[in-house]
Amino acid sequence: MQARPVATSKDGLRKRVMAPTSTKSLAVHVTLALAMLAASWPLSAQNATVAGEVSLPYPTLTNLSIEWKIEGDDNLNSVVYVQYRKAGEQQWRQAMPLRRVPAGESRGTTPIFRWENKHSGSVFDLQPNTVYEIRLRLVDPDGGDEERIVQARTRPVPRAPADATVRRAGPGQLDQAHPGEIILLEPGEYGQFVAPRDGTPDRPIVYRSEDGGAVFESISLSGRKYVYLEGLTVRSEGTAINLNNTEGCVVRRCRIRAVYGIRASSPPGARNAYIADNVIEGPTPWASAAMGANGDNAGEGIQITGPGNVIAYNRVSGYRDAISLMEDSRAYEQVSVDIYGNDISVGADDGIEADFCFHNCRILRNRLTNCFTGLSSQPGLGGPTYFIRNVMYNLTYVPFKLHRFSQGDVILHNTTVKVGDGMACFSSEPFDYALFRNNLSIGGPPGEQRYGNYSAGTGLAANMSNPGPHCDFDYDAVGTLATPFRARIGRLDFFQVEPHGMKVEFEEVFENVEFPLPALPEREPADLRPRPGSAVVDAALRLPNINDDFLGEGPDIGAYEAGQPLPHYGPRPEWLDEETQLQEVARLGLTPRQSVLSRLAANWLLQRPPFVSSCRPSWRPLQ
Ligand SMILES: [Ca+2]
Ligand SMILES: [Ca+2]
Ligand SMILES: [Ca+2]
Ligand SMILES: [Ca+2]
């Protein structure tokens, strides 16, 4: 869905230059030429902004992407302030300004990716299936101020309509399927299944197992539209579920054990997929030899390219990369991709590889335990690539892999506790245009000298090699356990770069958390909520639309507010999704961020088996 402008500039000065028709006189041509010359003349300095088109490509269920193309502003001082409201509401709410993304290109990739001069950013945590108005106010001290109001509708949670036809079927009976049907699968072995037919947006075809007893060797939805897989079991020594070249398909509440879990890894990948509440188990162990890109590891849990994909509340364990976008020539329109609420353990290379994000990929509120790299952006293609409120415990390399000249990473409110260097990125290739705010990181003794072929760092609190000149760091809290406090950003001392940066002590910030040394064997997730009264409490910078619902006097540094319920990660209770959650929030009178997920987590977590055993109940190495 694209932006629909409902108003243009306040001053009405913006004009559209029309192409002259053959009937126009020469005088018109000359006048036009002069007008265009006059318009471009003041831009010889090119510090003023000339506003171009606004678009809102690929709304997801809960987030909107905004791109505003511009010309000029060579001095990069224009700002686009963002307000939003549901259509029909009176009050505007504040969001973060868009990120200023100058035109650029990737370095050393195949092919070279180029992006235009623009402002780009997201509005977060919206309600599904709802029209929002967004007011954008562009301000440039050099000239070119302008205001636009645009609107877009978020996507609904995909589900079969209430009047769908329900039909039972057993093995060998799946060839017949019609749009609008729910096919309830009898327990049994279904072998390899290739879905034969498309559904429609209003009449999807749903293949559902109510008890998980329908077991497949593989499922291909390749080329399909609006086919939903719900509650199926897939065990494969190759790819369990193929989503290549699909649109609007769903994989929900499936149990998958495979080398490749859910895959759309060749252009054009999947478009507007919804991959939620699955359990996906792979063959890679938590072992030093398995770690790193060249480690003895195998498989990808969810490996996907394409736009508008939502990957939420899955439990993924035992892979090279647990959740991964595609790289280089296999990266196709990786925009508006949401990855949130996932519970990840054992990513022997990356927990979440958000590489080659074109713009507005959003990696939010995931829990990563026992990973080599936590979050990868290798590289971001101009950005923004958002990493917000992720919790990383027991990493053996870095929390942030901003390699291959990554551009435009926005890193807010993440919490890291790991061996070696805490807030770390080791790269000889500068990353640039990154924004760091409100992150909490603890490092410590490295333990092993090497993990795979790599060092975890010697135990610095912060060690961000090679940030480019346009990076912006502040309000981060860093510390170490049992190593001398040292922290640096590039060649500078941490506190020279971060005037509001903070040194913290592990035992002062956390309660009943064991420092993950040794890093092997794998560990249970830790509760990394800060201790009430800790130095990080209420010490974060206010960021509209990011930390509005704080507790106490202000937002806390790190992924959590002290005293908040622990969020829920991984598959949600059966009845709960992005829409029903809102109904519960309203019923219980909670604020959206004090969500029912948090409330439920406390009860529900008690009732389920421990994390690691529930992750991999019966894995046997593949032959
Ligand atoms: Ca300017
Ligand atoms: Ca990967
Ligand atoms: Ca990787
Ligand atoms: Ca607070």
- pLDDT by residue (tens digit) across 3-50? 343 333 333 333 333 333 343 444 445 444 545 444 544 445 699 999
What is the per-residue pLDDT for 45?
61
Which ligand is located closest to the Cα atom of residue 404? 3
Which ligand is located closest to the Cα atom of residue 140? 1
Q: Give me 54's structure tokens.
A: 């606004």
How far, in Å, from the CA of 79 to the mean position of ligand 1?
9
Which ligand is located closest to the Cα atom of residue 547? 4
Give the CA distances from residue 425 to residues 376, 397, 399, 431, in Å, rounded to whole numbers and listed in that order.
Answer: 10, 9, 7, 10
Phi, psi of 343 (to 5 degrees): -115, 110
Give the CA distances from residue 277 to residues 142, 341, 433, in Å, rounded to whole numbers and listed in that order.
Answer: 49, 9, 34
Which ligand is located closest to the Cα atom of residue 304? 2
What is the per-residue pLDDT for 605?
37
User: Residue 352, exposed/middle/buried by CB under 10 A (0-12, 13-18, 19+)?
Assistant: buried
Distance CA 539, CA 549 (A): 14
How far, in Å, from the CA of 295 to the mean position of ligand 2?
13
Q: pLDDT digit string (tens) for 265-313?
A: 999 999 999 999 999 999 999 999 999 999 999 999 999 999 999 999 9
Which ligand is located closest to the Cα atom of residue 537? 4
Q: How long a stretch of residues is the chain?
A: 623
Give the CA distances from residue 280 to residues 300, 395, 566, in Å, rounded to whole numbers and listed in that order.
Answer: 10, 20, 23
User: Residue 611, exposed/middle/buried by CB under 10 A (0-12, 13-18, 19+)?
Assistant: buried
Q: Tell me: domain 26-153, CATH 2.60.40.10, correct?
A: yes
Q: pLDDT digit string (tens) for 509-526?
A: 999 999 999 999 999 999
How far, in Å, from the CA of 321 to the mean position of ligand 2?
5
User: Of 115, 119, 105, nearest to 53 (Cα)?
Assistant: 119
Q: Can you say whether the dihedral through the CA atoms of 15, 18, 23, 26 is positive or negative? A: positive
Which ligand is located closest to the Cα atom of residue 46? 1
How far, in Å, from the CA of 321 to the mean position of ligand 3?
5
pLDDT over 80 (residue 583): no
How far, in Å, from the CA of 488 to the mean position of ligand 3?
26
How far, in Å, from the CA of 347 to the mean position of ligand 1?
43
Could you give the percent of the chain with pLDDT greater than 90? Answer: 82
pLDDT over 90 (residue 616): no
How far, in Å, from the CA of 179 to the mean position of ligand 4?
49
Which ligand is located closest to the Cα atom of residue 560? 4
Give the CA distances from residue 440 to residues 399, 449, 509, 547, in Å, rounded to whole numbers and listed in that order.
Answer: 11, 24, 10, 15
Contact (Cβ atoms closer than 8 angstroms) between residue 342 and residue 312: yes
- In this prediction, residues 147-161 reach a mean pLDDT of 97
What is the per-residue pLDDT for 448?
86
List beta partners, residue 218: 192
Distance CA 91, CA 289 (A): 56
How far, in Å, from the CA of 511 to the mean position of ligand 4?
17
How far, in Å, from the CA of 331 to the mean position of ligand 3?
13
What is the per-residue pLDDT for 24?
42
How far, in Å, from the CA of 402 to the mean position of ligand 3?
12
Mean pLDDT of the chain: 90
pLDDT over 70 (residue 202): yes
Which ligand is located closest to the Cα atom of residue 323? 2
More confident residue, 598 or 575: 575
Contact (Cβ atoms closer than 8 angstroms) between residue 43 and residue 71: yes
Which ligand is located closest to the Cα atom of residue 47? 1
Q: pLDDT digit string (tens) for 427-473?
A: 999 999 999 999 999 999 999 889 999 999 999 999 999 999 999 99
- In this prediction, residues 415-421 reach a mean pLDDT of 98
How far, in Å, from the CA of 320 to the mean position of ligand 3?
7
How far, in Å, from the CA of 267 to the mean position of ligand 4?
44
Which ligand is located closest to the Cα atom of residue 260? 2
- In this prediction, residues 222-229 reach a mean pLDDT of 98
Which ligand is located closest to the Cα atom of residue 538? 4
How far, in Å, from the CA of 353 to the mean position of ligand 3?
6
Which ligand is located closest to the Cα atom of residue 539? 4
How far, in Å, from the CA of 213 to the mean position of ligand 2?
31
Which ligand is located closest to the Cα atom of residue 562? 4
Distance CA 410, CA 193 (A): 41
- Listed in order, the ranges of the chain carrying CATH 2.60.40.10 are 26-153
Which ligand is located closest to the Cα atom of residue 554? 4
Contact (Cβ atoms closer than 8 angstroms) between residue 348 and residue 361: no
Contact (Cβ atoms closer than 8 angstroms) between residue 364 and residue 497: no
List beta partners, residue 369: 345, 393
How far, in Å, from the CA of 373 to the mean position of ligand 3?
9
Q: pLDDT digit string (tens) for 391-407?
A: 999 999 999 999 999 99
What is the per-residue pLDDT for 594?
52
How far, in Å, from the CA of 557 to the mean position of ligand 2?
30
Which ligand is located closest to the Cα atom of residue 74? 1
Give the CA distances from residue 534 to residues 323, 405, 529, in Å, rounded to whole numbers and listed in that order.
Answer: 33, 36, 10
Q: pLDDT digit string (tens) for 61-101?
A: 999 999 999 999 999 999 999 999 999 999 999 999 999 99
More confident residue, 361 or 427: 361
How far, in Å, from the CA of 294 to the mean position of ligand 1?
45
What is the per-residue pLDDT for 505?
97
Distance CA 62, CA 390 (A): 17
What is the per-residue pLDDT for 565?
84
Report the amino acid identity of residue 192. Answer: Q
Which ligand is located closest to the Cα atom of residue 300? 2
How far, in Å, from the CA of 293 to the mean position of ligand 3?
6
- In this prediction, residues 545-570 reach a mean pLDDT of 92
